Structure formats: C-alpha cells, structure tokens
Structure 1
C-alpha cells in the first residue's frame, strides 16, 4: 500500500536496533514511547523475539498504518504490550518512559509536497529528529540518515545534554521515497553545502542511542560524526 511506509530493509534494521540498543537494557515492567509507529512491524517483530514484560506506547498519525498495526497486534496477542494511539506525540500528554524510540521522518525537501508527506523531515531532514531530542526523555533511540544534516542532530543532542551512548550503521541504497526527483535534487543541494553525505546511490543510516549525560560515560559523538560524514 502506497499510503503506508514500506521498506523491509530499513524496518528490519530499526527492529534490530530496538532489540540490541533498548530491549536488552530494559528492566522489568519498563515503559517505552514510540514516535511514528507506522505499520508496527519493527516493534512487533522485536517483541516476538524478546522477553519484554513492559509496555510500548506508540503514536501514529497515518490512520491506514495505525489500522494495519492494530490488526497485526491483535493477531499476535500483543494488545497488552503494544498500544498505538492514532495521534501525534508532540500534541499528546506525553507518557512517562525511560526510552523514546523512533524511525522519524528524515527526507529533506523544499516542502512537504512529496510522495509521502508524513516522511518530510524539514528542509534539512533533521527537524523532526531534533524536535524529539527536545522532549527530554532520558534515553532516545532514533535512526539518523547521513543525507539529513547529521551534524546538526549530534550538536542539538549535545546542547540538550545528551551523549551518544551507542550506535549501529547500515549502508542503504536510495529507495522509492528518497529517489523522488524533488527529494534527490534537494539532497544534492544539501551535499554542496556539506549538510548531506552519500556516495553514488548509497547513504548511511545510523541507529543511535542518545542518553542524558552521565558521569564518566564515554561519548561516541565524535566517532559517529566521522562515520556519517565519510561518504
């Protein structure tokens, strides 16, 4: 369905990041908030593969995706573990949680008139991601694209007292949404201003766990910046 985000490789990567960077560190009865749940498959797959006894509270604006997600949640009897609201996290009474997770909209473009408007991440692609880091959750897992001004996100995180706790990198080929001429041309302009980084048809997608600064903790922000700008 064209009105629901579909990229199996990216969704699988997001699921693996949730498992390795979040669920393995969760204590009993932990609460997780998710921005932009989509069809729910990354979290559903993660829950099916892990013994997590907490609750994931998702927020998804796309009604079609929300309905699809809830149908799958019912199918796998996960209704007590994964609850998705058909609303925007930024406009809701934000639930308390130890972790905020998201594969946020990161497509840069001059405006939101693109194949799927809900994937618009602002003119530099980093707007929504940076807004999520302003919500003040203790731990934030987000996917960051190398063509979406990654330095701005790392800098913004630091300004909000976050350090990079851990990260995983996936080389991805430009897909259906990022190859739209309007988007691709804008990304090329960002590259000319050293705000987007890619090589040929490939870019880096990073799963990054940000954590509120803790004493004696190692900040991997410099290493992440070096990797994301190396293309």
Structure 2
C-alpha cells in the first residue's frame, strides 16, 4: 500500500531495538507508549519474541496503517497487550508509562509536500524527534537519522536531562522516501551546513535509548555523535 510506510530493513532494525533495549528489560508493571505505530509490525514481531506482559499504548495518525495494525493485533491475539489509537500523542492527554518509544518521522524538506507527508520531520528532519524528548518520559527509545540534524537531538536530550544509555547503529542505503529529489536536494543543503551527515548513497540510523539523567550515569552521547557524524 503506497499510503503506508514500507521499509523492511528499517522496521526490522526498530523491532530489534525494541526487543533489546526495552521489552527484555521491562517488569510486569511497566507500560509503554508508542508514537507512530505504523502497521504495528515492529512491535508485534518484538512481542512474539519476548515475555513482555504489560500494556503498550500506540498512537498512529495514518488511518490505513491503524486499521492494518489492528487487524494484525487481532490475528496474533495481542489485543490485551497492544492497543493502538487513531490519534496523535501530542494532542492526547499524555498516558503514564515508563517508556516512550518511536521510529519518528525524520525526513527533512522545505515543507510537508513530499511522497508521504506523515514522514515529514520538519525543515531539519529533527523537529518531531526533539519534541518527543520534551514529553518528560523517564526512558525514551528513538530512531535517530544521521541526515536529520542529530547533533540538535543530542543537545535537546541534554537540555531535558537525558543521557544516552545505549545505542546501536545501522548503515542504510537511501530508499524510496529519502531519495525523492526534493528531499535529497534538501539533505544536501543541510549537509553543507553540517546539519546532515551522509555519503551519496548511505546514511546511519541509530536506535538510541535515552534515560533521565543521574549524576553517576555513564553518558554515551559523545560516542554516538562521533559515529553519526563519521560519514
């Protein structure tokens, strides 16, 4: 379906981050809020591989993706664990949870008039990502793109008293959405301003677990910056 985000490599990476950084470390009382659940596949795949037994509240604006996600949830009998609402988290009364997780929209462009407008991440690509770090959740798992002003995301995290607890990085080839001429041209303009870091064909996507800061915590933000700006 052209109106539903489709990138198996990225979705599998997100699923791996969910499983490794969140679901395997949750207690039975820990709930999760997910921004932009899409068709639900990454979370469903992770749930099927773990013993997570609490509740995930997902939010998805794309009605087609929301309907598909709920059909998959019913297919795998996960309705007691995974509930997705056809609404925006930013416009909802904020659910209480130990974790906020998201593969947020991160495509940079001059405006949202792109192949899939819901993938627009703001002029620098980091707007939605950075806003999620302002919601105050104790633990936040985000996918962060190297061509979407990642340094601004690290700075926003520090401003909000988060440290980088864990991260993993995947090199990705520019795909259907990021190769749209309007998007690619804008990324090149950001690259010249040292706000995007990528080669002609590849960029890095990092799965980053941010945690509200503790004085004794080890902060991996410098290591993350080095990796994300190395292309």
Please indicate, yes or no, whether the TM-score normalized by the shorter chain is above 0.5.
Answer: yes
CA root-mean-square deviation: 0.5
Structure 1 residue 4 corresponds to structure 2 residue 43: no
**What residue is the counterpart of 1:59 in the other structure?**
59
Post-superposition, which runs of at least 4 consecutive aligned residues in structure 1 deviate over 3 A? none
What CA distance in whole angstroms lies between the structure 2 residues aligned with 1:152 and 1:35?
Answer: 20
**What residue is the counterpart of 2:185 in the other structure?**
185
1:225 is displaced (CA, Å) by 0.5
**What residue is the counterpart of 2:50 in the other structure?**
50
CA contact (8 A) 2:24 2:51 kept: no
- Please, which moves more after superposition, 27-36 or 102-111? 27-36
Report Cα offsets for 1:41-96 as digits up to 9, x if no partner. Answer: 00000001100100110000000000000000000000000000000000001110
**What residue is the counterpart of 2:120 in the other structure?**
120
What CA distance in whole angstroms lies between the structure 2 residues aligned with 1:215 and 1:182?
Answer: 44
1:215 is displaced (CA, Å) by 2.8
What CA distance in whole angstroms lies between the structure 2 residues aligned with 1:24 and 1:125?
Answer: 30
1:200 is displaced (CA, Å) by 2.2
What CA distance in whole angstroms lies between the structure 2 residues aligned with 1:136 and 1:30?
Answer: 16
What CA distance in whole angstroms lies between the structure 2 residues aligned with 1:94 and 1:80?
Answer: 20
List aligned pairs for 1:54-203, cutoff 5 A: 54-203=54-203
Q: Which runs of 5 or more structure 2 residues have no equivalent in the other structure?
A: none
Q: Which runs of 5 or more structure 1 residues have no equivalent in the other structure?
A: none
What CA distance in whole angstroms lies between the structure 2 residues aligned with 1:29 and 1:46?
Answer: 18
